[in-house]
Chains A and B, each alone.
Chain A
Amino acid sequence: MDTWTESDAGAARAFVADRLNADFAGAGLQKVEIRVDPAWTGTLGGDLILVSGGHEFPLDVRGGGVEQACAFAAFQLQDDAMGELNRPWPEPTNSAGDSVGVLTAPAEVDGVAVWELAGKPFCAIGHLHRAVEAAGWRIK
């Protein structure tokens, strides 16, 4: 039985968009929106797409779940951020100003969608800036 209501769908889309917008703030990208667009019907996400400026791609929030949607979108948007900024991003620096590495957003999730640092989970997607701040670092 289908228990996915329109309210559920709206909540899931908002949750994904809010987490992405929180993390990609200041990365040179336009605000993320998740829309229904019949032009994309037949894609992995049905007709649901993520739009950030000129970048659009299907997002399978329902079938894949919100964590997979966050991970896949962050994977895509990280490329965009690096393209816009013309440098690796996000790259936290420590108090001495030295790089601690470039965080990555793996598209494949195992539970919660995360940013990884040196191959290990660093924080959940949506908490990037506060997690970096809590570590005593700042993002270049």
Chain B
Amino acid sequence: MSAVQQLKDNFARKLKLARTPAHALALLAMVGPTAKACAADTPPPGSGSTTIHSCSPNYTDKNKLGRLSIQQKGPGTSIQWGTYPNLPADRYVVSIYVGSTKVDGKKQNYPPHGSLPARTWHTSKNRYVRTYQPGQIFKITGTSYNTKGAVVQKFFIKCKLV
């Protein structure tokens, strides 16, 4: 079984678990009291850190407002990312960057997650090309909105790829 398929299968299993009510309850319990009560005095996940952590094997930042996660199994492997904010929202908008280059963007009504393969085929060059280089910064920036379009929460996380 290829590494890519293993990742897909793992993702499929994780997703199945992550979207079940039981798992959602466990997550709420893990990050503390109701998000609303914390909204005024808790910075968004990712905002308090000035250290650039390694993305490998994974980097997770969490607080009372939620959890942000980036996983890179090792050098030259694909990257999985997920946002798990606790505050209820109607719409989530995220941008994904490798270095200063935007590589993905999502606007949707559930907390976004996604992945970036490690390399892609380049027909013109007749070889595989990497989608990122070791040492580059992988960054998620996002904002959630309520039904009236007002900002509920902003969040970001970044780490260094290996």
Listed stretches B35-43, B57-65, B66-74, B105-113; interface member: B105-113
B73 to chain A, nearest CB (A): 15
Q: Is A63 within 8 A of B124, CB to CB?
A: yes
> Restricting to A58-83, which residues have a CB under 8 Å from any CB of B?
58, 60, 62-65, 67-68, 71-72, 75-76, 78-79, 82-83
Q: Is A108 within 8 A of B128, CB to CB?
A: yes
**Total contacting residues, chain A, CB less than 8 A:** 39
Q: Is B15 within 8 A of A119, CB to CB?
A: no
- The reply on A116 being an interface residue by CB < 8 A is yes
B121 to chain A, nearest CB (A): 4
Q: Which of A57, A110, A116, A118 interacts with B104 by CB under 8 Å?
A: A57
CA distance A78 to B32 in the complex (A): 33
Contacts of B115 in A (CB 8 A): 75-76, 79
Interface contacts (Cβ under 8 Å), in number, total: 111
Q: Is A43 within 8 A of B1, CB to CB?
A: no
A residues whose Cβ falls under 8 Å from a Cβ of B: 40, 42-44, 53-58, 60, 62-65, 67-68, 71-72, 75-76, 78-79, 82-83, 86-88, 102, 104-110, 116, 118-119
B residues whose Cβ falls under 8 Å from a Cβ of A: 1-2, 4-5, 8-9, 11-13, 15-16, 19, 78, 93, 101-108, 110, 112-115, 117, 119-125, 128, 131
